[in-house]
Amino acid sequence: MMAQVDRHHFHFFGNREVNSLALTLALFHFGEGLLNVFVPIYFWTLGFPLWKIIFFFFLNSLFFVILTPAILRFIVGLSDKIMMFLSVPFLAVYYLGLNYIVVLPWLFYVLPAFLALNMLFFNVGYNMDFAKSADEGDVGKEVGQRYMIGSLVQFSAPFIGGTLIALTGFGHTFVLGITVLFLAFIPLFFFPQRKLLGNLNNKSIWGFLRGAEMKNFNISAVGYATETMVDRLVWPLFIFLTVGSVQNFGGVISLGWLLSGLVTFLVGYLSDSGRRKKVLRIMTNIFSLSWVFRAFAVELPTVVGSHILGNTAHASLVVAWTSQYYKLARKVDDASAFILSREILYNLVRIVFLPILMALAYFLSMEMFFRISLLFAALLTMLFVFANNAELTEN
């Protein structure tokens, strides 16, 4: 009886595979936190204009959409954990290649393909593993636990990364981050591996993109795909230009991760107790409002305050939204096709959206570019609420 109580209330000691997945994701994000958030800053310090920095990530999405159908037959034969492990070499090549992009300019057009392959292998493998291993009825709490552990482990990474970059440069920090990424996947091989369904094909994937029952959730995914691009590309550059140094930038990002980690487990619990729709609706409005604040933030205190507010609201919103994602993945007939369709949809949307940001960056002043981009994010965030009308899910 005690074991059942512990499993239901204290997931840190319950579903061991979910806990290992949470730890793996936390370590993975710690390694990425040393590196990923600094990539736009790295390009900026090398003298790349804003539009070209955005173009790099446009190429990333373009490669993803091109490469996924091309290697679909290969990935069907892989297990979820092997896919996650295989993602790391592609990420290692990507980060090491960034260190040589000045002396080998052609890498600018090649490295996005390696990042795309990393995203394909890791995102599909991880989401497949989590969807299959999460406990029925506790999906929200386990998603909340995952984000909480990830945020609390990850919160120090940007500050450490910023300090290391300031002291030793980007190159040494890239190597350290890659080492952490390889170590992150060791715990996973103590648990069973699951292969993708053998009948996975392009037709089954596109069925989830065109199906009427997925229309509202697809609309919400458009909000996710576009808003995250502003959050990962535009907003970090805005913070960096405001605080004036890579070390201070890392400190601001770390503070946002720490505070957001404290609310995610509670949101996951609320999602499982019948309040998911209410949480998603409220947090959509708050997160959208935080983007409006960011668009008009000028002084350092308002930038930091709006970052903390936005990160906390974003974490709460994504936990509620992701809980529904996994509930859908568990209910559909072909979870593999559903999960892969999400990744393709995100990148199809970005292929359309990122050129808009590129044009804004090219033709507008920097101040107007940031303001309009952040207001775009405020508007697009409101699309998350369409997930409340998605079929196949309740509460």
Evaluate whether 15 touches 142 at the Cβ level (below 8 Å): yes
Q: Mean pLDDT over all residues of the chain?
A: 78
Evaluate whether 162 touches 250 at the Cβ level (below 8 Å): yes
Tens of pLDDT, residue by residue over 72-89, are 888 877 877 788 888 888
Task: Calculate Rg over the CA atoms of the chain.
Answer: 20
15-188+200-389, CATH topology level = Growth Hormone; Chain: A; (1.20.1250)
Q: How confident is the model at residue 381 (pLDDT cuts 50, 70, 90)?
A: very high
Q: How confident is the model at residue 170 (pLDDT cuts 50, 70, 90)?
A: low
The encoded tokens of residue 174 equal: 């890239």
Cross-strand bridge partners of residue 2: none
What pLDDT is recorded for position 193? 63
What pLDDT is recorded for position 22? 63
Q: How confident is the model at residue 258 (pLDDT cuts 50, 70, 90)?
A: low
Domain spans of the chain, in order of start: 15-188+200-389
The encoded tokens of residue 62 equal: 């373009």
Angle formed at CA 334 by CA 328 and CA 338, multiple of 5 degrees: 55
What pLDDT is recorded for position 205? 84
265 pLDDT higher than 60:
no
User: Cα–Cα distance between 280 and 111 in angstroms, integer?
Assistant: 36
Q: How confident is the model at residue 4 (pLDDT cuts 50, 70, 90)?
A: very low
User: Cα–Cα distance between 25 and 38 in angstroms, integer?
Assistant: 19
What pLDDT is recorded for position 12? 38
Which residues 6+ apart lie within 8 Å of 97 measured at CB?
A: 104, 107, 110, 111, 114
Highest mean pLDDT (candidates 82-96, 154-168, 275-289, 339-353): 339-353
What average pLDDT does this structure show over 278-304?
Answer: 87
Among 159-173, 202-216, 308-322, 347-361, name the one with the lowest average pLDDT: 159-173
**83 or 113, greater pLDDT:** 113
100 pLDDT higher than 70:
yes
